[in-house]
Amino acid sequence: MLPIPQKITIVGLNVHGLLTALLLRKTYKPAVTGITLVGLKEEDSPPKAYIAGKALNTLLEHFGYSEANWMRQTQATFKLSNRYVGFSEQEFSVANASEVDILHQPLMLELSKLKRQAYQLDLSLDDFFFAAALAKRNLSPKAQDFPFETDYQYQVDANFLFTLLQKIAAEHSITTLPSALETLQLDQHGTLKHIECEDQILSGDYFFDCTQSAQLLIGNMPDFRQEPLPEVRINDRVLTYTLAAECCASEVVTTALDCGFVLQYTLQDAVHFQYHYSSKFIQDPQAVQLLERHISQQGYKKVLQRHLSASQAYLVSQPWIHNCLAIGPACGLTQGSEDHELSHTFAMLEQFVSSIQSPDDAKDVIKNYNHRIKSRFVYAHSYHSTLQLLNSRRNSPYWQTPQDANALTPIGRSLFSQWLSGEDLSVEPILDINGLTAWYALFSGLGHYPTGELKPHPKARAIQDNIQDMCRKLAGCCLNFQTHDNLIAEGKHHANVTAV
């Protein structure tokens, strides 16, 4: 068992940093552990709202704030969701370490189709995202294929939540220093000894990095300082490009393949862009060549390709390095999607506390922590990047819905034909990247939802009940979409489930 920390320093004055401080304070009393939160408030456009699970309510109740009280102060509302268990048995569990096949989502298709027809339902794509993946690989589902339950979460205003957490931190012996990080002092083994912020030296048994740019971990990685040899590889869904400083890479960030999201670091007169992709989209070197062509077409003079898995990818595989841990956005796997970000922070802190209390050797504790967090976040990232992609409204030719069926791939033409004829839509694995693009662009209605006011569906409750019932009954199936105008006009639009 590792000793209880006497001094903890957290870098990152944001919601994740404050939550980290309060969760640690809940575990470690002020008389035993001193907690300092340092940093300047990050102004780079936080999400307008966070999606938080019941763990947030449990934490705030611990500090004397009832659900009604803190919801009023943060202008929070309830949000229907599916709690996805498997990573741990805690109430904030949202993800499973195993892969879910995102290609089999008949419920998402059904819901999207209703949205395109301008019907207003009290459901959204993400509400039933996990439930929609039940019929994966056309196999009869087993008990482990149903690791979810319908639940509710909270949608919380980010700025009001920040203000409330800051107030609670001040009431419970958490020191806040509004100072910018200036210097990291490491020992010969790479352990972080202390940090310097505007003439103040802050030490700690543990340092938590909650910054958007992973300032502590990047500065703590020898491979960044040693500049590894140039190469490019795909490793753990991380593909990294380093562009010369004189190049402006903003177009690459916003348009390259139009999938995944980007973390940006500036180091040694170069700009590093780290692209995260779902494994469903990037599977072979052809994808790398496509990205290379895109960069070349943008007119960049010099492109340095590096494999930085020992450095940037370290944020994924090694969130705990020596005495420094990455939490929340510093891991690079919560940025880009507001959903469940807070749950990530709660889950990592739970794992940290349980690791500290483990009787195992310190090295084994760190190794186990990194393995658990990596496996969970690799899965969570695959979900987030895909969900962000599905809900994207980017005006990019890559995601324009094809108007000409003959321009589709053979798979796309087949699906398009089935769609128009009202036949049973067989949900089959699609490995071809272009076919996959056509599939989502055609059937999810990206960018083609009605822009005007939506009309209430006369059978909204029945449709909602039908979809939830399908969540329970789906078993290797396909959907027969009844799209006849008379049925729609009569409010009888529904989906029939038929066995494959």
pLDDT at 33 over 80: yes
pLDDT at 421 over 60: no
Task: Give the type of residue at 120.
Answer: Q
Q: Is the dihedral of CA 38, 41, 45, 51 positive or negative?
A: positive
pLDDT at 39 over 80: yes
Distance in angstroms (rounded) separating the CA atoms of residues 200 and 194: 10
pLDDT at 362 over 50: yes
- Residue with the bigger pLDDT between 414 and 34: it is 34
Amino acid 211: pLDDT: 80
Query: To which H or E segment does residue 303 belong?
Result: strand 303-305
Cross-sheet strand order for the sheet of 261-267 = 261-267, 270-276, 238-244, 303-305
Amino acid 432: pLDDT: 34
DSSP 62-127: HTT--HHHHHHHTT-EEEEEEEE-SS-SSTT----SS---TT--HHHHHHHHHHHTTEE-S--TGG
pLDDT, mean over the chain? 56
Distance in angstroms (rounded) separating the CA atoms of residues 276 and 187: 32
In tens, the pLDDT along 137-167 reads 222 333 333 333 445 567 788 889 999 999 9
In tens, the pLDDT along 238-294 reads 333 433 323 323 333 322 323 232 333 222 333 333 333 333 233 334 444 554 554
Distance in angstroms (rounded) separating the CA atoms of residues 373 and 366: 11
If 0-12 CB within 10 Å is exposed, 13-18 middle and 19+ buried, where does residue 151 land?
A: middle
Query: To which H or E segment does residue 480 belong?
Result: strand 477-481
Task: Give the type of residue at 31.
Answer: A
In tens, the pLDDT along 444-468 reads 333 233 345 555 555 555 555 554 4
Q: Is the dihedral of CA 391, 393, 398, 402 positive or negative?
A: positive
Distance in angstroms (rounded) separating the CA atoms of residues 224 and 231: 15
Amino acid 433: pLDDT: 32
Amino acid 480: pLDDT: 28
Distance in angstroms (rounded) separating the CA atoms of residues 287 and 300: 19
Is residue 105 within 8 Å of 133, Cβ to Cβ? Answer: yes
Q: Tokens 């500036």 identify what position? A: 266
Provide the pLDDT confidence category of residue 174 given band limits of 50, 70 and 90. Answer: very high
Provide the pLDDT confidence category of residue 335 given band limits of 50, 70 and 90. Answer: very low
Q: Tokens 């999810």 identify what position? A: 444
Among 206-220, 263-277, 313-327, the minimum mean pLDDT is found in 263-277
Phi, psi of 105 (to 5 degrees): -135, 65
Is residue 333 within 8 Å of 376, Cβ to Cβ? Answer: no
Distance in angstroms (rounded) separating the CA atoms of residues 388 and 494: 27
Amino acid 128: pLDDT: 34
Domains (range + CATH), the chain: 7-96+155-221+313-390 (3.50.50.60), 106-146+402-444+457-499 (no CATH), 229-305 (3.30.1360)
Is residue 82 within 8 Å of 149, Cβ to Cβ? Answer: yes
Task: Give the type of residue at 213.
Answer: S
